Structure 1
């Protein structure tokens, strides 16, 4: 069990490091683009495109991290008035609905990846395969489903602590 926990902690840290690298890269590219555009009147058409694609990656990888930490926007007014048992039931139902939506989104994202590979779509400025942009959709959905399943397992195991960020 300790090895599993250690492996999960490494996985969680890698997820956070990847997000940090992506945010730093987007910041650096934007800064360089502003300096080049206004300081040297040089136009970099690829910079805006690269930052746009990095933001897509940040969004989908960050979605899983938000599920893990329990920081997605939610309405907990009803939950405050329910008993512990009813709260657990509602949370499991919400988690199952979330998983259903993420499966739907992930499968269509996978179709988009396969379509972009089959058609050979490339990005306009960077001229890289669009599948590199789209592959994060099923990946981010899978990460989110993993985190939701971990939390749901904690609920079903009878834990009294019902915070997503404490299942780690």
Structure 2
């Protein structure tokens, strides 16, 4: 299986998971609102489950943004430097980001250990599910960024958007 196929599968899977989570969130919250105002009852667990889903949507969206090079970036400097220096900057910023993601994972491991056995008040779902979302996201984002950086430096592919759209700037 090629990396392009793997990334394509990853993007489709994440988009599907986000869509399902958003539909569930809206469904739970809407149902709860209708039950509260129309029938004077409600789903005690709906807001808690919606909160869990929201956290997962945010982190899954972050992974998707990394795969698609969609995160915000300041490229005013790198657009005007030679290609080899662009690659060096990309490697350095990727290394720095992976280092930060490593710190995030270490911090999340501490939080998971501190919160073992604690569950949500309405659902009894472990609170650590919040932290697992962040950990999975940090690990996947680091792996994707490392692959993209090495691929860009070695082959010129999978680079950031600023590496490919120099022609647009020269015509404007």
Output the CA distance in 1 between the equivalents of 2:18 and 2:41.
29
Contact 2:148 2:158 in 1 (8 A): no
Output the CA distance in 2 between the equivalents of 1:148 and 1:70.
9
Alignment of 1:70 with 2:66, yes or no, is no
| Alpha-carbon distance, 1:93 to partner | 0.9
- Segment drifting more, 77-86 vs 38-47: 38-47
Output the CA distance in 1 between the equivalents of 2:75 and 2:120.
42
Contact 2:118 2:127 in 1 (8 A): yes
- Segment drifting more, 4-13 vs 132-141: 4-13
In the alignment, which residue of structure 2 is the partner of 1:33?
32
Q: When the two structures are aligned, how many residues end up with a matched partner? A: 160
Flag the 1:160–1:67 CA change in 2: closer, same or farther, 3 A: closer
In the alignment, which residue of structure 2 is the partner of 1:4?
2
Output the CA distance in 2 between the equivalents of 1:114 and 1:152.
33
Flag the 1:161–1:107 CA change in 2: closer, same or farther, 3 A: closer
In the alignment, which residue of structure 2 is the partner of 1:46?
45
In the alignment, which residue of structure 1 is the partner of 2:133?
136
Alignment of 1:127 with 2:124, yes or no, is yes
Contact 1:110 1:137 in 2 (8 A): no
TM-score (ref. length: structure 2): 0.82
Output the CA distance in 2 between the equivalents of 1:43 and 1:106.
37
Output the CA distance in 1 between the equivalents of 2:105 and 2:15.
21
Output the CA distance in 2 between the equivalents of 1:101 and 1:7.
25
